Amino acid sequence: MKIWFDGKLVDSAEAQVSVFDHGVLYGDGVFEGIRFYSGKVFRLQEHIVRLFDSMRYLMIDSPWTFEEVCAATEETVAANGMEDGYIRLVVTRGTGDLGLNPRNCPKASMFIIVQNIALYPAEMYEKGLSMITSSFRRPNPDILCPQVKSLNYLNGISAKIEAVQQGAGEALMLNQHGNVAECTGDNIFIVRNGVVMTPPLTEGALGGITRHAVFDICTELGIPCVEKVMNRFDVLSADECFLTGTAAEVIAATSLDGRTIGTGQAGPITNRILARFRTLVRE
Ligand code: PXG
């Protein structure tokens, strides 16, 4: 396996981050999770725009330009000779001292990993995932901004632990007002009376690239799709619910806290969107 590490393709054994890297010491950094299909990276530019937005927010100066990061990503995919797979692109604040001050880290570090990714089994896309409501709330932007894809994932991991402990596939995360934000690593959509709905990003959701692709698919298929503030009642009374993310793609969620959503199976609109997503990624 070849890893792109600060400008060079190296063997994985050689790709080593310093113990003084602030990404390790403080989770001070940003990342992207990207997929490629038939050797083509899905919505690469959009991912790298989000990466640069996250870096700008955290005042991490990129040693590489936008074009260089895109080229490095494609170079790493090509070097690993795989058809389909997952890319993890990480930018850390770089090496510094043991203090928090980012100014003591002179240069950000970047690495790109390309790996196989196991899809969920096919029957999961029919039966759907079970969800629990997490007791951990998505933080307000004045605590930790959910729109920044930073290396600080303890909020989501805490919620994921609750889901795993309860045997659920995902955790629904509410914001400080008790409204629906998203799941630990996926955006959430519901369908009611033929209308597809998802919370606005300001409710505490990451601007998912798959979420955006679903907007495009709905426009193309003539399915109404709107951003709407929603709570657990809206999810529990929905006709259909589905989650979107680079790893999960588009997957139905058919129960919440042991209560069935819709028919308890992936619904017709979810299936139409999923079918179109699967062709779109290979166009
Ligand atoms: N919300 C959060 C908090 C995420 O981390 C998404 C939504 C979906 O965004 P995209 O752009 O992928 O459609 C993400 C991204 C995992 C895993 O192992 C998932 C993400 C990141 C890291 C790991 O499931 N999801």
Structure confidence by residue, pLDDT tens digits, 199-249: 999 999 999 999 999 999 999 999 999 999 999 999 999 999 999 999 999
- Residue (of 66, 112, 68, 65) closest to 91 by Cα position: 112
Is 0.95 topped by the overall pTM?
yes
Place 89 in a pLDDT band, splitting at 50, 70 and 90: very high
97: CA distance to ligand 1 center in Å?
Answer: 30
State the maximum Cα–Cα separation within the chain, in Å, rounded to a whole number. Answer: 56
C-alpha triplet 60, 160, 87: angle, nearest 5°:
50
C-alpha triplet 138, 90, 162: angle, nearest 5°:
35
Ligand 1 atom 24 nearest Cα: 185
- Identify the active-site residue in 2, 107, 149, 160: 149
What is the distance between the alpha carbons of residues 196 and 5, in angstroms, rounded to a whole number?
41
Average pLDDT score, the chain: 97
Q: Which atom of ligand 1 is nearest to the CA of 182?
A: 1
**Paired tokens of 262:** 């819709």
246: CA distance to ligand 1 center in Å?
Answer: 6
HSE (CB half, 13 Å, CA atoms) of 137? 11
* pLDDT tens per residue across span 58-86: 999 999 999 999 999 999 999 999 999 99
Q: Which atom of ligand 1 is nearest to the CA of 212?
A: 13
Is 245 near ligand 1, meaning CB less than 6 Å away? yes
Ligand 1 atom 6 nearest Cα: 186
Confirm whether 149 is a catalytic residue.
yes
What is the distance between the alpha carbons of residues 1 and 283, in angstroms, rounded to a whole number?
27
Is 211 near ligand 1, meaning CB less than 6 Å away? yes
Query: For the chain, which domains are there?
Result: 2-115 (3.30.470.10), 124-280 (3.20.10.10)
HSE (CB half, 13 Å, CA atoms) of 92? 21
Mean pLDDT of 93-111: 97
Mean pLDDT of 148-154: 98
Return the SS3 of 39.
coil
Rg (CA), the chain: 19
What is the distance between the alpha carbons of residues 131 and 80, in angstroms, rounded to a whole number?
35
